[in-house]
Structure 1
Amino acid sequence: MSTTQSERLRELLEPLVTSQGLDLEEIAVDSVGRKRVLRVVVDSDTGADLDAIADVSRALSAKLDETNAMGDAAYDLEVGTPGAERLLTEHRHYVRATGRLVKFQLTEGGELIARILKVDEDGLDVEVPGVKGRKATGRRLGFPEIARARVQVEFSRKDKTDDTDEKEMKEEEEA
């Protein structure tokens, strides 16, 4: 059984990432011109701040140098977090996306855009936004019904906390 370089690197680096309180989400080795780039994507339930990323980057770099896992050729190490429109592939990704708007590709065909309300072992409770003045509706999605899911970027989301802040500001102005 052969293993790819990415699999070998995952086996080497995942325990180190986990010891830093993070999850190793993705690892890829790409060629960019004459150089190779090792891209490592990390995350956690509370997110990964810049200090955590810098710490894990230094630890990974030291481990890679110590083991010569990337060989003698030059390479760049890039450590970051998943993008804003991350693909949801693991149960923990759905949990972390609770409250977020997600575009689902369904196994039976078609797509659904809905907000994740609750996640359990069997699937999700979602809220499908109303269209043209209609109220939002609830729906249950089992994991087997989901072919693919990706978080959507929301630029003008109106959170409940925003409503509370506006009411408080209005009350202060009236006082």
Structure 2
Amino acid sequence: MLKSQGSNSKGSQSSKGQSSLHFGEVTAVNEATGEAKVQLPDLGIESYWLKVLVRRSTADRHADWLDVGDRVAVLLDEKGEAGVILGSVYTESNPPPISTKDKWYRQFSDGSFIEFDRSAGRLKISCDTVEIVCSNRVEIVSSAPSVLQGKEIVVVGGTDNDNPDTIILSGQ
């Protein structure tokens, strides 16, 4: 097992030697602390809790947790006592879900996905339910004819919350 190294007064961990890159599989995740444990086959050990590198962690924050079984890249200090999980990596058995640089794509384990195609300027969201909550105002503006399609479409509006105006459009 790797031993956890203490932090200095500014919260950073120090190492005077070389860092090393390792690949392993996530064995446990702690969402409350943003840490995970990794089985490192090249070292024959499971790490202690390692911080997971994220895009933002202060005023604007990002949370995108690893799953147990994810294949990850880990950077460790020369003693293997401190390190950070750099992120997931694709493998031959788990290739990227798309193969174009023109798309940003996020797929979820239930099959839902969000895709933006910058070459077409198109955003596509595929899931069971979309909920938009706004404390001020929602605007949808299009310079072209638009389609809102559903088995039944309900539009609720007005200023009287106890007695709102309602329009129900039903398909056949």
TM-score range, shorter chain: under 0.3
Q: Which has the higher helix share?
A: 1
TM-score, length-scaled by structure 1? 0.27
Greater C-alpha Rg? 2
TM-score, length-scaled by structure 2? 0.28
